[in-house]
Structure 1
Amino acid sequence: MPHSAPSPDRYDIAIIGAGVVGCALARSFAMAGARVVVLEKAHDILDGASKGNSAILHTGFDAPTGSLEAACVAAGHAEYLEIRERLGLPLLTSGALVIAWSDEEEAALPGLMEQARSNGVTDIEYLDGPALREAEPGLGAEARAAFRVPREYLIDPWSAPLAYLTQAIAHGADVRRRCEVTGGAFNGTDWTLKTSQGPVRTSSVINAAGLYGDRIDDLLLGRTDFTIKPRKGQFIVYDKPAFDLARHILLPVPTKVTKGIVVCRTIWGNLLVGPTAEEQNSRTDAGLHQPTLEALKARGQEILPALAHHKVTALYAGLRPATEEKHYRISKHPENMITVGGIRSTGLSAALGIAQHVRKLWEDERAPDWIAPEPVWPSVPNIAETAPRDWQSPGHGGVLCHCEMVTEREIRAALNGPLPAQSLAGLKRRTRVTMGRCQGYYCAGALARLTKGKLSQPMTADD
């Protein structure tokens, strides 16, 4: 990749997409001293595939052995554990059980355990029927055997990328929201990207556009080597009393298509069941399908029969940017561009590892003349139940959302920080406001008054 002298109106790296991978990429390059801009077409970050997932920090034990995905998940897992305390990020050390529910699945366990060891996850443990019952007394009667993966953890899937991007901003990165890339031209040295906010000049482009990754490739390069095949996953969230029903992340034996239905606690004190794996053509339809949810609920009760006596708090769906092939679609192009595509369900775990890999790809072509600044470690507010919350400290201005115990001070901080929320969805992901039992029924009015004039996408009657 050719190099040209920097200028005040020129970036070193333009990252298209502010999902978890784009946020991790921005952090990595900004901390290395690059002048970075992140271009996101939505009102706020994490508005695409990254907004809906199961919030698990995976080890990569079941990733294809020797794959780039396995390497990135392992590296991302390690770096998250290394940096999380300095960024104020939570961790629930639950571990996971991969459970066999039939003779066929039980016969598959040894092969999965060998795959885990090949992926460097060697601290696994086989549990026969009695040992499994001791580990998880509430399991359904059909559970046969399992193996434990101790280092599968539960994390906050929204605070992590918020922390990554906040750290990038602290190192000079620019973030432009409501900034859709509509075209671009490469002159052999630099790119000039056409956006809804005007032209952006940059030396290099990284396409981290998630569900639109193939379209961005085609738009800028006139070609693409993959096609996004959106895969919808629906989830059921149970009320907080269900939290104690499971001690571990309860995983099924995976198939060639999906990791399957998971039952696990959340960092916010709930319990969730999901996701489904539904192939579709739409890149925007994350609608809920009642018969599918009923089947999902029934499966959850087969796994943990006591769920039949617990209330559902919320339902949601997310879209995963699957492609026609299972592996990650990360490639370097001669036009000073790197595509980061096909990052499916492991994106949250792999994001930091993907950023390491892409940095190396970029640096293989040149020796950057950047000067890395002294690291800055901003800490994001805690919204997890695993650590003290803001409502427990004086001077918080009152509790606005009583279901999730969100204070007025937390709302104001989210509206005025270095990366202020620009939509109700963005505010939810920063604070969990309106995400509890009443789903905003009691606090929406006060929230609308507090956010008036602050959001680029104001609250409406539909929010």
Structure 2
Amino acid sequence: MPDQPLTGRFDVAVIGAGVVGCAIARRFALAGARVAVIEKAPDILDGASKGNSAILHTGFDAPPGSLEHACIRAGYQEYLEIHERLGLPVNRCGALVIAWTEEEEAALPGLIEKAHKNGITDIEVLDRQALRKAEPELGENARAAFRVPGEYLIDPWSAPFAYLLQAVENGAQLMRGAEVTGARREDDWIIETTRGEVRAGLVINAAGLFGDLVDEKFIGRRDFHIKPRKGQFVVYDKPAAALVNHILLPVPTAITKGVVVCRTAFGNLLVGPTAEDQDDRLHAELVPETLEALKKRGEEIVPALKRHDVTAIYAGLRPATELKEYCIKAHEGLSYITVGGIRSTGLSAALGIAQHVEKLAALEFPPPAHPVWSSVRNISEFLPRDWQKPGHGGIVCHCELVTRREIMDALSGPLPARSLAGLKRRTRVTMGRCQAFFCSAELCRLTRDHFDQPMSEIVE
């Protein structure tokens, strides 16, 4: 069943249900606002937020004094303060920034100085011998490194899901499958969508890859232009995760943080992303030659990867712009806030961005007397899983050990999955070695009448 149309007047309307939109909705709902979330896709996290490297960054390498750095630091701190109450995992593995060339080694002191300016003072310098001890499987060409103990791994999908779920359980309303087609200003904003009009006092544009186009609909201009940056990833089978102890980071460039090797929250090992600018905002095409080069780079970093299988490949798009800073602005006299250009640091910065946007809005509401804090079901390998608990109804996806109870819970409740992709991001179903070969028939039966597009009609 689709979400109900949004009726009545809302204090705040958030356009876009990616990680940033979910965090903003949570912030305003907990402040006591009546919040609407408008998402054009069948389910949440369907845009830029669906593909990333799932690292909770400290902001050690962000531009000092920038808004991006401030939001990362605030978001990092809030995540650590609330994650246990929301049932969200943290793997406190730390990161190594590794120099592979003489030029990169010469850049390390400058990066350490930047980290210190950004308040990250627990940096530990490693020479070649110490580096080899920390990461025995590292390639022989690694010259030197420094450790950033506060860089952690998290679940990139459960975090925004938990933010929006808390928003909904504190009164926010979500309407999916609703593309914004226009807007007009009366006493309030009247937002025109493919599922009807929505009235709101304040509009927050968190539309990600379409943020500049949404600005045009509301304020008649673009202050930035989205230039999608594609990142392709290679995912190795679960035994490969034992090869590394830290998040392995390269020396970043002016364009990208570079190719990362790290474990995932779901027990695999990830290599990526690439950084490829393109015009297409919808499609992140996988390129065999690029993936082969990415695989080769991963095997240069950790040579033992040559003995392990690749079980998945994927690509995501980041909403890069021509500007180096986040494009966050309250438009004076319009009750409209743009939140654009949130690139690869969005997962880490989302809660901090929400804090910043709340300050820009400068609105006060009567806060809920008893705010709801509900815990999401863990799907990471960092905490106990549902298959380890009694009464789960049996395993449906054997590759990822997803239970019938997990699937049925994800299809119901206040924020039910409305697509196979949405169900995957809530449970891990179809993510394993067989890529749904064995479980698809049972999933088709279990999800009947739950999805906007039935599984039997999906053509991969």
Q: Which bracket does the TM-score occupy, shorter chain normalised?
A: over 0.9
From 316, 324, 327, the equivalent of 1:326 is 324
Matched letter for residue 352 of structure 1: L
Q: Deviation at 1:424?
A: 0.2
Tell me how far apart the structure 2 counterparts of residues 194 and 85 of structure 1 sit (CA, whole Å). 38
Residue matched to 1:462: 459
Is 1:426 the equivalent of 2:422? yes
Residue matched to 2:343: 344
Tell me how far apart the structure 2 counterparts of residues 461 and 79 of structure 1 sit (CA, whole Å). 39
Is 1:279 the equivalent of 2:255? no
> CA offsets per residue over residues 248-305 of structure 1, 9 Å max, x none?
0000000000000000001111000000000101001211000000000000000000
From 195, 199, 202, the equivalent of 2:200 is 202
Q: Deviation at 1:100?
A: 0.3
TM-score w.r.t. the length of structure 1 is 0.97
Residue matched to 1:211: 209
Is 1:116 the equivalent of 2:130? no
Matched letter for residue 224 of structure 2: F
Residue matched to 1:52: 51
From 411, 417, 422, the equivalent of 2:413 is 417
- Runs of 5+ consecutive residues of structure 2 not aligned to the other structure: 1-6
Matched letter for residue 257 of structure 1: I
Map 1:78-97 → 2, pairs under 5 A: 78-97=77-96
Query: Secondary structure of 1:199's partner?
Result: strand
User: For the Cα contact (< 8 Å) 1:43–1:423, is it kept in 2?
Assistant: yes
Matched letter for residue 388 of structure 2: Q
User: For the Cα contact (< 8 Å) 1:32–1:373, is it kept in 2?
Assistant: no
Tell me how far apart the structure 1 counterparts of residues 272 and 421 of structure 2 sit (CA, whole Å). 21
Residue matched to 1:447: 443
Residue matched to 1:237: 235
Query: Secondary structure of 1:236's partner?
Result: strand
Q: CA 1:369 to 1:383, structure 2 compared with 1: closer, same or farther past 3 Å?
A: closer
Q: Deviation at 1:325?
A: 1.1
Tell me how far apart the structure 2 counterparts of residues 454 and 14 of structure 1 sit (CA, whole Å). 26
Tell me how far apart the structure 2 counterparts of residues 457 and 96 of structure 1 sit (CA, whole Å). 41
User: For the Cα contact (< 8 Å) 1:208–1:341, is it kept in 2?
Assistant: yes
Residue matched to 1:295: 293
Query: Secondary structure of 1:250's partner?
Result: strand
> What is the RMSD of the two structures over their aligned residues, measured on CA atoms?
0.9
Q: Deviation at 1:461?
A: 4.7
Matched letter for residue 384 of structure 2: P
> CA offsets per residue over residues 299-343 of structure 1, 9 Å max, x none?
000000000000011000000000001110001112100000000
Tell me how far apart the structure 2 counterparts of residues 62 and 265 of structure 1 sit (CA, whole Å). 21
User: For the Cα contact (< 8 Å) 1:171–1:373, is it kept in 2?
Assistant: no
User: For the Cα contact (< 8 Å) 1:400–1:443, is it kept in 2?
Assistant: yes
Tell me how far apart the structure 2 counterparts of residues 56 and 369 of structure 1 sit (CA, whole Å). 34
Tell me how far apart the structure 2 counterparts of residues 114 and 290 of structure 1 sit (CA, whole Å). 39
Residue matched to 1:34: 33
User: For the Cα contact (< 8 Å) 2:57–2:152, is it kept in 1?
Assistant: yes
Q: Deviation at 1:99?
A: 0.2
Residue matched to 1:226: 224
Tell me how far apart the structure 2 counterparts of residues 371 and 151 of structure 1 sit (CA, whole Å). 33
From 401, 407, 419, the equivalent of 2:403 is 407
Residue matched to 1:397: 393
> CA offsets per residue over residues 373-429 of structure 1, 9 Å max, x none?
322111111001111111111111110000000001100000002100000000000
User: For the Cα contact (< 8 Å) 1:327–1:342, is it kept in 2?
Assistant: yes
> CA offsets per residue over residues 171-218 of structure 1, 9 Å max, x none?
10000000111101112x310111111111100100000000000000
Tell me how far apart the structure 2 counterparts of residues 351 and 306 of structure 1 sit (CA, whole Å). 35
User: For the Cα contact (< 8 Å) 1:63–1:69, is it kept in 2?
Assistant: yes
Tell me how far apart the structure 2 counterparts of residues 452 and 75 of structure 1 sit (CA, whole Å). 42
Query: Secondary structure of 1:371's partner?
Result: coil
Q: CA 1:369 to 1:419, structure 2 compared with 1: closer, same or farther past 3 Å?
A: closer
Matched letter for residue 93 of structure 2: S
Query: Secondary structure of 2:107's partner?
Result: helix
User: For the Cα contact (< 8 Å) 1:31–1:373, is it kept in 2?
Assistant: no
Query: Secondary structure of 2:373's partner?
Result: coil
User: For the Cα contact (< 8 Å) 2:72–2:345, is it kept in 1?
Assistant: yes
Query: Secondary structure of 2:196's partner?
Result: coil
TM-score w.r.t. the length of structure 2 is 0.97
Matched letter for residue 221 of structure 1: I
Kindly tell me the number of residue pairs found equivalent between the two proteins: 452
Tell me how far apart the structure 1 counterparts of residues 223 and 39 of structure 2 sit (CA, whole Å). 23
Residue matched to 1:74: 73
Query: Secondary structure of 2:299's partner?
Result: helix
Residue matched to 1:176: 175
> CA offsets per residue over residues 70-103 of structure 1, 9 Å max, x none?
0000000000000000000011111000000000
Tell me how far apart the structure 1 counterparts of residues 454 and 211 of structure 2 sit (CA, whole Å). 28
Map 1:243-254 → 2, pairs under 5 A: 243-254=241-252
User: For the Cα contact (< 8 Å) 1:194–1:200, is it kept in 2?
Assistant: yes
Query: Secondary structure of 1:82's partner?
Result: helix
Query: Secondary structure of 2:192's partner?
Result: strand
Q: Deviation at 1:449?
A: 0.5
Matched letter for residue 462 of structure 1: V
> CA offsets per residue over residues 4-37 of structure 1, 9 Å max, x none?
xxxx811000000000000000000000000000
Tell me how far apart the structure 2 counterparts of residues 97 and 116 of structure 1 sit (CA, whole Å). 13
Query: Secondary structure of 1:193's partner?
Result: strand
From 375, 381, 388, the equivalent of 1:379 is 375
